[in-house]
Homo-oligomer: A and B are copies of this chain.
C-alpha cells in the first residue's frame, strides 16, 4: 500500500501531539511519569534599591566584604542574600489579584556567571487551594527553564512532593523580575 500524503499528515500530527503532551525537562529528557496535580503560577520580585521602599517586595540583607545592601554586588552579585515576600498571581500581570505569597530567600552563588539558589514557600489562599508548598533548588537563571525540588507541603498540599520548572517570564533592569513556575506534583496524598 502506498504511503499517501494523508497518512503522512496523520503521522506528523501524532508526532507533534506526543511531543507537546510529554513534559520535557531542562535536562533534555522526557519524563515518563505523569503528575497527579499541576499548577502554573507567577510571582513578582521588586528588589529594594534605596529609592523604592513603597513598592519593593524584597531586600538584599547580606553581601560579601566591600559590597553594600542597596546595589547588587559586583562579580555577578556573588554572595548576595535576598529575602523576599512576593505576590503570587494566576497570570503574568503584577496587578492581578494575588492568590498568595512567595516567601523565603535566594542567593547569588557564582562569581563568573549569574546563578542563584532558592529556598522558599508558597502560601496559597484562594478558592482553588489553601496550603503551603516548600521549594529548594539551584536556579541557573540564564538557562531558559530550570527544575527545582518541591520538598513538601501542607493543607491542600499535605505531604506532596514534586518538581517545579521555573522560567524568567520578564525582567526590568536589576530591580524587577517575574518568574513563571510550573509545579508538577508526583506524590499526592
Which residues of A pack against B, CB within 8 Å? Answer: 25-29, 31, 33, 48, 50, 59-65, 68-70, 78-81, 83-85, 101, 103-105, 107-111, 115, 117, 119-121, 123, 130-132, 134, 136-138, 140, 147-156, 158-159, 161-163, 186-187, 189
Copies per complex? 3
Cβ–Cβ < 8 Å partners of A50 in chain B: 65
Contact of A130 among B27, B31, B70, B130 (CB under 8 A): B27
Contacts of A154 in B (CB 8 A): 25-27, 137, 147-149, 163
Contact of A61 among B79, B115, B155 (CB under 8 A): B79
Give the Cβ gap from A43 to chain B, nearest Cβ, in Å. 13
A107-B107 contact, Cβ under 8 Å, with A68-B65, A155-B147: no
Interface of chain A, main secondary structure? strand
